[in-house]
Each structure stands twice: as C-alpha cells, then as structure tokens.
C-alpha cells in the first residue's frame, strides 16, 4: 500500500475498470490524509479543477513511480 503524504503528486488509476488516467497527465496534489476503519483516503486537488475530492489509496499512483515505469 502506498504511504502518501501531503505534498505528493499523484495520478488516478481506476483499477476496477482497468483505466489508467495517468496517461492524461492531470496530476493531483495530496492535500490531506485520513484513515477510516481499515482504509486510507486522500484529499486530492486536481490540476485545473477548483474542487477537491477524497480518493482511496488503492486508486492512486505517485507521479514519480509512473514516470519511472515508463522510462
């Protein structure tokens, strides 16, 4: 499981549908982290969007990890 912290840049990955939104290059900034029961969710501010949303850590990938995998 990723150990994200505020300030990390991430991409969204919809694992249930097999979609990888990292190819859109719309990175998000982790604003805060909260733990609910056994899951961690992260408040993300996406590039070019005013609103923030909470996402499960399982649907996020660090920008640096994605870039390293595609070198």
Whole-structure pTM value: 0.67
Given 2.30.30, 3.30.70, 3.40.50, 1.10.3470, which CATH number is that of 9-69?
Answer: 2.30.30
The vertex-32 CA angle with 61 and 28, nearest 5°, equals: 40
Q: Is the pLDDT of residue 70 over 80?
A: no
Q: How confident is the model at residue 4 (pLDDT cuts 50, 70, 90)?
A: confident
Burial of 62 (0-12, 13-18, 19+ CB in 10 A): middle
What's the mean per-residue pLDDT of the chain?
A: 75
Distances (CA, A) of 46 to 37, 38, 52, 71: 25, 25, 7, 24
């Amino acid at each position: 499981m990723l150990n994200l912290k505020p300030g990390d840049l991430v991409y969204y990955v919809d694992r249930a549908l097999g979609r990888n939104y990292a190819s859109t290059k719309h990175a998000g900034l982790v604003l805060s982290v909260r733990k609910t029961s056994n899951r961690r969710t992260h408040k993300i501010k996406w590039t070019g969007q005013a609103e923030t949303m909470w996402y499960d850590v399982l649907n996020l990938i660090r920008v640096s990890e994605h870039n390293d995998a595609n070198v």
